[in-house]
Amino acid sequence: GKNGVPVAENFRLEQSTIADTIKEGQVRVRTLYLSVDPYMRCRMNEDTGSDYLVPWQLSEVADGGGIGVVEESKHQYLAKGDFVTSFNWPWQTAALLDGSSLRKLDPQLVNGHLSYFLGAAGITGLTALLGVKEKGHVAVGANQTMVVSGAAGACGSLAGQIGRLEGCSRVVGIAGTDEKCSILVQEMGFDAAINYKKGDVAGQLRELCPGGVDVYFDNVGGDISDTVISQMNQSSHIILCGQISQYNKDVPYPPPLPPNIEKIQKERNITRERFLVLNYMDKQEASVLQLCQWIQQGKLKVRETVVEGLANIGAAFQSMMNGGNIGKQIVLVSK
């Protein structure tokens, strides 16, 4: 249903078998890692709200970002032992896949951390980097202040660091625990972080962003975003990445702003446009290489929350939707 918080019991594990023989163009793969992401909540609705997202079907195998190793190949460009990835990887321990739907991976690009291709060097990193570059209008020397909500999550933790690398002079994160706030400042180079569950968020924002907010990387929507927008500067920019606070509600995407906040947005000429990373796939290759370079140089710090075992993917999904993870939520299916 559209309203409601997902729980582990929404998923079930089944034992099954796959064909012994593979067809021309196919590969047999063993799954290594699966990605668990907030957007998947939309796929639990009959209407996902997006023309590029198809709903998961009842009693069919769920899918999402995944990485595996080729164990047998009848595809001309893939060989046994190759590491491969897909945005539509089935939640299975093993699978027969069309080789043309897979992208080959080079573990050396991420210092051997294959799972990074689902996060910092994958669609999550691309979303953060292209969001900042295409919608944030960050410029070196412009003395811009960036605020990131959901800042300890997979995308937010990267976006703040990328904002700094692209030229922001001040980066402030908003997260839900003291531990997350500490990691953002001490490990990921944020100037400051606000625990929104404690105290006066608006007052802390005024104190930490005395010159106002120039760029807002919005992962959550709702009351937090309304508070940030009210402190944004003239001709500033909202990077509309996600609205996780609204995903369990029956509202359009992006959700409309309250009238008083919409008035501020229009009067101050604040841009707030829907952002889809899939619209910038012509920049994917160069952007992934940039992300990998930053990772290799230690300029981009990566955090993952890893859960072991396919049987635990439902619990991992529930935890992620409740804000329980730091960084990217990954399920380790096999080693």
Instruction: Give the tens place of pLDDT for each residue, 81-132.
Output: 999 999 999 999 999 999 999 999 999 999 999 999 999 999 999 999 999 9
- Residue 96 sits at φ, ψ, to 5 deg, of -105, 120
- Residue 223 sits at φ, ψ, to 5 deg, of -60, -40
Residues 169 and 78 in one domain: no
- Identify the residue whose tokens are 């023989």: 21
Q: Is residue 325 part of a domain?
A: yes
What's the CA angle centered on 161, arms 268 and 224, to 5 degrees?
45
Would you say 188 and 205 are in contact if contact means Cβ atoms under 8 Å apart?
no
Q: Tell me which residue of 120, 119, 82 sits closest to 296, measured CA to CA.
A: 120
- Residue 231 sits at φ, ψ, to 5 deg, of -110, 15
Give the domain range for residue 211.
124-278
Output 52 or 294, whichever has higher pLDDT.
294
Output 292 or 241, whichever has higher pLDDT.
292
The total number of structural domains in the chain stands at 2
The pLDDT of residue 253 = 60
- Identify the residue whose tokens are 């299916």: 333
Whether the ω angle into residue 6 lies within 30 degrees of 0, i.e. cis, is no
The pLDDT of residue 323 = 79
Instruction: Identify the domain boundary among 243, 262, 278.
Output: 278
CA–CA dist 328, 17 (Å, integer) = 30
Q: Is residue 285 part of a domain?
A: no
DSSP state of 56: P
CATH, residue 192? 3.40.50.720
CA–CA dist 156, 327 (Å, integer) = 8
Would you say 219 and 150 are in contact if contact means Cβ atoms under 8 Å apart?
yes
The pLDDT of residue 39 = 84
Residue 179 pLDDT more than 70?
A: yes
Number of H helices, E strands in the chain: 8, 13
Residues 243 and 318 in one domain: no
DSSP state of 327: B
The DSSP result for 101-120, as a single string, is: G-EE--GGGGTT-GGGGGTT
- Average pLDDT of span 322-326: 82
Q: How confident is the model at residue 199 (pLDDT cuts 50, 70, 90)?
A: confident
Q: Is residue 289 part of a domain?
A: no
Residues 128 and 250 in one domain: yes
Q: How many angstroms from the chain centroid is the CA of residue 296?
A: 20
CA–CA dist 203, 217 (Å, integer) = 19
Would you say 94 and 70 are in contact if contact means Cβ atoms under 8 Å apart?
no
The 8 Å CB, 24+ separation contacts for 46-49 are: 47/2, 49/252, 49/253
Would you say 131 and 217 are in contact if contact means Cβ atoms under 8 Å apart?
yes
38-96 pLDDT, tens digit each: 889 889 988 877 777 899 999 999 999 999 999 999 999 999 999 999 999 999 999 99
The pLDDT of residue 246 = 52
First to last CA, the chain: 35
Residues 129 and 213 in one domain: yes
Give me the chain's average pLDDT, please.
92
212-256 pLDDT, tens digit each: 999 999 998 889 999 999 999 999 999 998 765 454 455 556 778
Residue 155 pLDDT more than 60?
A: yes
CA distances 188 to 36, 122, 164, 293, Å, are 22, 19, 10, 17
CA–CA dist 237, 148 (Å, integer) = 12
Residues 260 and 190 in one domain: yes
Residues 136 and 231 in one domain: yes
Q: Is residue 150 part of a domain?
A: yes
pTM of the model: 0.90
